[in-house]
Structure 1
Amino acid sequence: MTEAVFHERQRLELCAVHALNNLLQSHVFSQQHAEEICRGLAPDSRFNPHRSVLGTGNYDVNVIMAALQTLDYAAVWWDKRRSLESLVLSEIFGFILNIPSRISLGFLSLPITRKHWIAVQQIHGIYYNLDSKLKAPVKLGGPKELREFLQECISQGSCEVLLVVRKDVEEAKLWISNEERVP
């Protein structure tokens, strides 16, 4: 019997919230939580720079990082010049990627792209693409397929990769192989 994989679907511009929840495999964060984080990041701002002016979401990386910190996780920016082989996958909780995504209106796909947050997580030994725009999670496979997926995303240009790790793993830099660690 296969265990169910938690997967929130896209609503408004809440892909950052969905990516966090999909990564955590539970409904931990809401739009209200993200709004509270935004206010905390820019308490004196008339227009909060960490979200859409319209209040529909579109949260930036600072909101994601602050949300993860509340759970004793850290987000580490991946240096795309490094080899993905140097990742110590056993020390990485999951991945959040910021990828280009086509805008669509119903069935009509526009020739415009915007940035979109997605989560990639290992569940029961298998890595999944948990993009909230997908109808269901997409099975990637094992470490080899994960690295191929990440490389494909990176090679498409405008993609950022965040490694989500426990704070102690970040501090000790355990997420990267010994040869790659800078003293």
Structure 2
Amino acid sequence: MESIFHEKQEGSLCAQHCLNNLLQGEYFSPVELSSIAQQLDEEERMRMAEGGVQTEEYRTFLQQPSGNMDDSGFFSIQVISNALGVWGLEIVLFNSREYQQLQMDPMHEKAFICNYKEHWFTVRKLGQQWFNLNSLLTGPELISDTYLALFLAQLQQEGYSIFVIRGNLPECEADQILRIMRVEQQQRPKLIGEEEAQRMSAPHASETTHTAEEPVLDEDEEELRKALALSRQDLQVEDEEADLRRAIQMSMQGSSDAGSSAPAGGSSEKQTLSAEELRRRRQAYFDRQQNAQDSSSSTGGGTDSGPKPTQ
């Protein structure tokens, strides 16, 4: 598993992580994806200008924000498609009636990219085994052959758009190694922040006092961790993390009750977060973690913790 490239979530750069996890390397940066998005924006502007630069439609178009990227790091399917085109790869909508009529076996494909509420992630075959390379996980998750179709079906039921990757993916070390050996996974990777969420949901969490080693959480970070805790208890929270967790559980090998867990007793609080609000809080959460690491390094004389997430 150590040979598998797995880029973890930074801010809202899931499109970058999705592409790099698919290609198994640091092939794209936010700057490069922004350049593709700006080129698409300019092409759209030129097409609109053909109808006249003095028209109301053209002036309205110029006032609208880009549909290909935003300040948080989100990139559209058009950007992803153009980025993959550099490698001679194409995407086909798995959910489409035309593709379903072909009655293709998902096992015969090479990779999928999935999107829901502006979150992108990759499912790819390496050697003879399938892996969920979601950047929200702490590491790659093995998906058994038996559960691949069920996993994709659950994603569709949850409202995901799934795209099949067609073409020759670049050679990578993980694929070469896994062609001659198979791996087993005793414990599935956790969602980023899951352990903190479990501690927050513990019965004694409200009675725990903060020590010098445990910084007091501000309001945004506190609410984000509560939302993650609720998503682990299968409450009907309308956010991408909860939907993703239910789909992730379907890939657990040998699990007959994937996608469900017992609600925590004694909790009457319910939260409904929009995708934009959760995305904002999640990005703030990652930014604060990075700032805390930088502050610790500068005051404690430690080594540099690495670059900050690019926005």
What TM-score comes out, normalization by structure 1 length?
0.73
Structure 1 residue 58: deviation in Å?
0.8
Higher relative contact order, structure no. (Cα contacts within 8 Å, ≥ 6 residues apart): 1
Contact 1:76-1:163 at 8 Å conserved across structures: yes
Counterpart residue type for residue 23 of structure 1? L
Residue matched to 1:105:
none
Judging changes above 3 Å, is the alpha-carbon distance between structure 1 residues 155 and 88 closer, same or farther for their aligned structure 2 residues? closer
Q: Find 2:136's aligned residue among 130, 133, 137.
A: 133
**Which region of structure 1 is more displaced relative to structure 2, 76-85 or 39-48?**
76-85
Residue matched to 1:103:
none
Measure the CA separation in 2 of the matches of 1:17 and 1:84: 30
Output one character per residue of 1:86-133: Cα deviation in whole Å (capped at 9) or x when no partner: 23643x33100003xxxxxxxxxxxxxx33101000112110110001
More strand by share: 1
When Rg is computed on C-alpha atoms for both structures, the one with the higher figure is: 2
Measure the CA separation in 2 of the matches of 1:130 and 1:145: 16
Judging changes above 3 Å, is the alpha-carbon distance between structure 1 residues 80 and 148 closer, same or farther for their aligned structure 2 residues? farther
Contact 2:106-2:148 at 8 Å conserved across structures: no
Measure the CA separation in 2 of the matches of 1:125 and 1:3: 16
Q: Does 1:94 align with 2:111?
A: yes
Contact 1:84-1:147 at 8 Å conserved across structures: no
Contact 2:111-2:125 at 8 Å conserved across structures: yes
Measure the CA separation in 1 of the matches of 2:66 and 2:106: 36
Structure 1 residue 67: deviation in Å?
0.5
More helix by share: 2
Q: Which runs of 4+ in 1 moved over 2 A?
A: 44-48, 79-90
Judging changes above 3 Å, is the alpha-carbon distance between structure 1 residues 136 and 85 closer, same or farther for their aligned structure 2 residues? farther
Following superposition of structure 1 onto structure 2, how do residues 170-181 of structure 1 map, counting pairs within 5 Å? none
Judging changes above 3 Å, is the alpha-carbon distance between structure 1 residues 88 and 149 closer, same or farther for their aligned structure 2 residues? closer
What TM-score comes out, normalization by structure 2 length?
0.44
Output one character per residue of 1:117-175: Cα deviation in whole Å (capped at 9) or x when no partner: 01000112110110001111111022x3211110111112x2100001118xxxxxxxx
Contact 1:95-1:119 at 8 Å conserved across structures: yes
Residue matched to 1:19:
18
Contact 1:50-1:60 at 8 Å conserved across structures: yes
Measure the CA separation in 1 of the matches of 2:155 and 2:101: 14
